[in-house]
A and B are shown apart, each in its own frame.
Chain A
Amino acid sequence: MITSDPTASQTAGAIILHVNGEKHALTVDHRTTLLDALRERLDLTGTKKGCDHGQCGACTLLVDGRRSLACLQLAVAAEGREITTIEGVGGSGAGQGAGPGSESGGQGELHPVQQAFLEFDGFQCGYCTPGQICSAIAMIEEHAAGWPSAVTDDVHPEAAPQPLTPEEIRERMSGNLCRCGAYMSIVQAVGYAAGARHTHSGPDEGSAA
């Protein structure tokens, strides 16, 4: 898509990005953020740009399983990391088939958080949604691993796992703005998906406590 050759410049470098289980070799301008590399070079446009300044959460994706803002890191610094975008959080093919003509958004299996967003109407315009979903997926794991938040009552390391209350969800998801104000249904969706995860996982799974 780029007609000038970025390799001609000393300000570009060849890197390999691991995205959604696939390896992509590309040459990027050193100034290119991970967000722009995904969007402009790899045609993975599910990750959105809401501010480009780390202030809105629209670009949230998973780096080595943890939530991270793609606009705040350079593509060259993401080499060797395991990157998962909204296109890759579901079963195979959930985010594939994307394109202007695609009505379905792919037919693969949805992640339980995605499914819950759909059923609880956890969005309106949908622009903050990929970031909300990626954030929620990692947040549920953080909570399960015993990480406290600002509203966690008992933060002693030996404390029993605290329930993921709506208040906890709201606190932990506050880095993801939704200007449409779909917060009520997002929290319901996340709470439902987190509860379902609990039911499905065994007693000694998913908790570091």
Chain B
Amino acid sequence: MTSTVPAVTAPVTAPPTALGTARTRVEGREKITGAARYTGDIPLTSLAHGSLVLSTIARGRIRAVDDAAVRAMPGVVAVLHHLNAPRVRGDYPSIMGMAPDPTVRAFQDDRVPHWGWPVALVVAETPEQARAGADALVVAYEAEPHDTDFSGERTDAFALDGVVPATLAKGDEEAELAASAVVVDASYTTPEEHHNPMEPHAATAYWQDGRLEVLDSNQGASWTAEDLAKAFELEPGTVRVRSEHVGGGFGSKSVRVHQIAAVMAATELQRPVRVAMTRRQMFSLAGYRSPTDQRVRLGADPDGRLRVLSHGSVSQTSSVYAFVEPAAAAGRVLYDAAAHRTSAQVVSLDVPTPTSMRAPGMAPGSFALESALDELAERCGLDPIELRLRNEPSAGPLSGLPFAGRNLRACFEEGARRFGWADRDPRPRVRRDGRWLLGTGTAAATFHAFAVPSTAAVTAWADGTFTVRIAAADIGTGARTALQIVAADALRVAPERVQVRIGDSEFGPAWLAGGSAGTSSWAWAITPAAGELRERLALGVDIPADGLTVRSDSTTALAGQEPAERHSYGAQFAEVAVDPGTGEVRVRRMLGMFAAGRIVNPLTARNQLVGGMVWGISMALHEEAVRDVRSGSLVGADLAGYHVASHADVAHIEADWVDDPMPGDPIGIKGVGEIGVVGAAAAIANAVRHATGVRHRRLPIRPDRVLCGESVDGGPAGESLERGLPGESPDA
């Protein structure tokens, strides 16, 4: 890092900007040829395989672990459980000060807090031997009565703050309701949903030269390394985590029992150990989205202007963790009302611990709120888009803060034009195509936009190329490619000259792939480093053999941001066809028009937005984990029993965006990871209502539920249907 003679290949001419032009993925060729190595694909000499054993009871104590017979099985090298496993801490502050997932404290005591709790790890020479050992291990339990029966009616529900406050309220709800000409008061439920990234969670741990090396599949390498150091009480610099390719995460790929168990076994055996969850194990170990029971009360004047927005949500958590699904939060951004109340409560049950899943809070919350808005529009005789536009707030409904770019109106106007909304006959059950009833629906979407302090290093090499190092994660988002574009733009060179290295905790602290804040947070760090490097090179410095490196930390820059309401927005449109004879619902087409900041790479951003909308179809029609209250376990916990949208479920989805640069952001980024799923299920449910005349307030909209709606009085009968259907909860 000296600066003596002019550089040989300093970049002086700026090529046209790559920002906003479609670019295929940097690692695309590796992924389509099978060369990309995910965690479980990386070979290691003398690797041992760990297989987890999970509890078969939902609450109680472990009486005995009969490990002698298993230890004698061929190839078995260790059996770890609460009587012999290394000690770990689980009481440290993890990301944003929250406690880590409780499965971090696996094998620490004899308590079983839920079905599928990890009770032992069998390590063997081969995967077959480990699995056979795990299958053969006899664990004796002392079962206690359990309670897994979730309901919004439970009297033991309690208010719980999460990353946002449990309750925010203003105005006199009862007085405003009394003054409202039109009132909607309805309950909505969403089921337990599971992330199910295609790549199951896996980690390989080994010790090398006094350092713990962990190959893992996670959403943030530095975060994982920090947590593992805290859990095992190791010096922070002695843990290195690498996570080069990640087969999806959606909120589930944090520090969980697989890394803990792998580290324990690698430490005991002093050889590399890989622990991978099976697909079935993921249903109790990888987190999930809590079921929700929500009540929405809207009161409005005859012209649709809201007097009351009251949205309460009840979700579940485990007996060993306080997690809240903040489903009522969408209303805090979308609409104002004289009386405004949003609240979140939880019920503590003997169930696995839920966690954030793609668009936490907003995905289930928008289903309830945006369905209720649709009901209100009908009662007011107003077009649902017009109703929303009449209720556009000029400042944060509760904060009073200005909006940093709010382009929801533009999304609706452009979306309506492209979708052909103006030709819509609002009457339900009037359009047919053969045996199919057709309907269209719409809904608004929002998701917060933010950036978190991160560090980055950008190095210039003598051959005119550059390397960016940042502990970012590409879980399928296209982050590697987006950051290459961001860096190239700041360096004013062609992207081909920039190599981006991510997924390594050695690169320093950085925000994770989550909260739709990955690209924005990482860009806040990369942009100034690259900019400074460009300026230094412009001065004509010599580039030494080990390169010229500029490091950055965005902490100070981000602290200087003015408070504002920062969010993405979207307008979702869906057209469905419903077969009244079979109850089948098909989504014929969807359009999502988004205001989601400046789009760095349209090719990958569109893919991600459409992917979110596919999640909306999946949530509206398919996904539902069913818990058997007698055993406390899930019924059919695998990809045959838990349906996610497949090829045949996705006919035509289009996602596009309006110009919406984020004020104050160096590049104008907001984030596109989550907004695509928000409002999508509501748009589909609203379309089903339009097609059939039946309002479905309970997800998923299964064929049997559609048929139930059809069977009342030999066909849908408007309001009479809404008082409750056979086999459904009173408010469903």
Contacts of A124 in B (CB 8 A): 248, 476-478, 604, 607-608, 611
Contacts of B35 in A (CB 8 A): 46, 87, 95, 97-99, 102, 104-106
Query: B31, B46, B75: which has the most chain A beta carbons within 10 Å?
Result: B31
List B residues 472-487 near A (Cβ within 8 Å).
475-478
Minimum CB–CB distance from B20 to chain A (whole Å) comes to 16
| Chain A residue at minimum C-beta to C-beta distance from B199 | A127
Contacts of B652 in A (CB 8 A): 184
Contact A86–B34 (Cβ < 8 Å): yes
List B residues 366-381 near A (Cβ within 8 Å).
none
Contacts of A87 in B (CB 8 A): 33-35
A interface secondary structure, majority: loop
Contact B610–A184 (Cβ < 8 Å): yes
Is B256 among interface residues, defined by CB-CB distance under 8 A? no
Contact B46–A36 (Cβ < 8 Å): no
Contacts of B196 in A (CB 8 A): 179
Contacts of B200 in A (CB 8 A): 49-50
Contact B613–A181 (Cβ < 8 Å): yes
List A residues 63-113 near B (Cβ within 8 Å).
85-87, 90, 94-95, 97-100, 102-106, 110
Contact B29–A105 (Cβ < 8 Å): yes
Contact B29–A118 (Cβ < 8 Å): yes
Contact B33–A125 (Cβ < 8 Å): no
Interface string of B238-251 (1 = CB under 8 A from A): 00000011111010
Interface string of B636-648 (1 = CB under 8 A from A): 0011100011111
Interface residues on A, range: 35 or more
Instruction: Out of A1, A32, A110, name the residue touching B47 (CB < 8 Å).
Output: A1
Contact B639–A126 (Cβ < 8 Å): no
Minimum CB–CB distance from A84 to chain B (whole Å) comes to 11
The answer to whether A2 and B32 touch (CB under 8 A), given A31-B132, A180-B198, A181-B615, is no
Minimum CB–CB distance from B435 to chain A (whole Å) comes to 16
Contact B125–A127 (Cβ < 8 Å): no
Is B614 among interface residues, defined by CB-CB distance under 8 A? yes
Instruction: Give the contact stretch, choosing among B37-45, B91-99, B170-178, B442-450.
Output: B37-45
The answer to whether A171 and B647 touch (CB under 8 A), given A48-B247, A99-B37, is yes
List B residues 1-44 near A (Cβ within 8 Å).
24-25, 27-38, 40-43
| Chain A residue at minimum C-beta to C-beta distance from B601 | A121
Is B278 among interface residues, defined by CB-CB distance under 8 A? yes
Is B603 among interface residues, defined by CB-CB distance under 8 A? yes
Contact A177–B198 (Cβ < 8 Å): yes
Contact B74–A47 (Cβ < 8 Å): no
The answer to whether A29 and B128 touch (CB under 8 A), given A48-B199, A94-B33, A118-B24, is yes
| In the bound complex, CA of A45 to CA of B645 (Å) | 26
Contacts of A100 in B (CB 8 A): 37, 42, 244
Instruction: Give the contact stretch, choosing among A52-60, A140-148, A153-161, A197-205.
Output: A52-60
Minimum CB–CB distance from B76 to chain A (whole Å) comes to 10
Contacts of A29 in B (CB 8 A): 126, 128-129
The answer to whether A53 and B279 touch (CB under 8 A), given A180-B198, A181-B615, is yes
Is A22 among interface residues, defined by CB-CB distance under 8 A? no
Contact B646–A125 (Cβ < 8 Å): no
The answer to whether A95 and B34 touch (CB under 8 A), given A118-B24, A128-B198, is yes
| In the bound complex, CA of A94 to CA of B127 (Å) | 29
| In the bound complex, CA of A187 to CA of B246 (Å) | 23
Contacts of B396 in A (CB 8 A): none
| Chain A residue at minimum C-beta to C-beta distance from B653 | A184
Minimum CB–CB distance from A171 to chain B (whole Å) comes to 5
Contact A125–B247 (Cβ < 8 Å): yes
Contact B612–A181 (Cβ < 8 Å): yes
Contacts of A43 in B (CB 8 A): 43
The answer to whether A121 and B604 touch (CB under 8 A), given A29-B128, A129-B31, is yes
Minimum CB–CB distance from A184 to chain B (whole Å) comes to 5
Instruction: Out of A110, A133, A179, A183, name the residue touching B650 (CB < 8 Å).
Output: A183
Is B86 among interface residues, defined by CB-CB distance under 8 A? no
Contacts of B279 in A (CB 8 A): 50-53, 55-56
Contacts of A162 in B (CB 8 A): none
Is B197 among interface residues, defined by CB-CB distance under 8 A? yes
| In the bound complex, CA of A170 to CA of B125 (Å) | 41
Contacts of B74 in A (CB 8 A): 4, 9
Contact A127–B247 (Cβ < 8 Å): yes
| In the bound complex, CA of A53 to CA of B282 (Å) | 14
Minimum CB–CB distance from B396 to chain A (whole Å) comes to 32
Minimum CB–CB distance from A67 to chain B (whole Å) comes to 14
Instruction: Out of B24, B34, B247, B478, name the residue touching A47 (CB < 8 Å).
Output: B34
Contact A1–B34 (Cβ < 8 Å): no
Contacts of B653 in A (CB 8 A): 184
List A residues 165-179 near B (Cβ within 8 Å).
167, 169-171, 173-174, 176-179
List B residues 625-668 near A (Cβ within 8 Å).
638-640, 644-648, 650-653
List B residues 429-472 near A (Cβ within 8 Å).
none
Instruction: Out of B126, B127, B247, B604, name the residue touching A126 (CB < 8 Å).
Output: B247
Contacts of B24 in A (CB 8 A): 118-119, 121
Contact B650–A181 (Cβ < 8 Å): yes
Interface string of B248-262 (1 = CB under 8 A from A): 101000000000000
Contacts of B40 in A (CB 8 A): 39, 45, 49
Instruction: Out of A40, A121, A183, A187, name the residue touching B127 (CB < 8 Å).
Output: A40
| In the bound complex, CA of A44 to CA of B35 (Å) | 9
| Chain A residue at minimum C-beta to C-beta distance from B654 | A184
| In the bound complex, CA of A121 to CA of B23 (Å) | 9
Contact A90–B198 (Cβ < 8 Å): no
Contact B37–A98 (Cβ < 8 Å): yes
Contact A58–B198 (Cβ < 8 Å): yes
| In the bound complex, CA of A113 to CA of B578 (Å) | 34
Task: Give 14 A-B pairs besides A9-B74, A105-B31, A125-B476 with Cβ atoms closer than 8 angstroms.
Answer: A2-B126, A4-B74, A29-B128, A48-B199, A48-B247, A52-B279, A124-B608, A125-B246, A125-B248, A128-B247, A167-B651, A177-B644, A182-B607, A186-B647
Query: Can you name 17 A-B pairs with beta carbons within 8 Å?
Result: A1-B43, A1-B47, A2-B125, A4-B74, A31-B128, A36-B127, A105-B33, A118-B25, A124-B608, A125-B197, A127-B198, A170-B648, A176-B646, A179-B197, A180-B611, A182-B610, A184-B607
Chain B residues in the interface with A (C-beta under 8 A): 24-25, 27-38, 40-43, 45-47, 74-75, 125-129, 132, 196-200, 244-248, 250, 278-279, 475-478, 499, 603-604, 607-608, 610-615, 618, 638-640, 644-648, 650-653
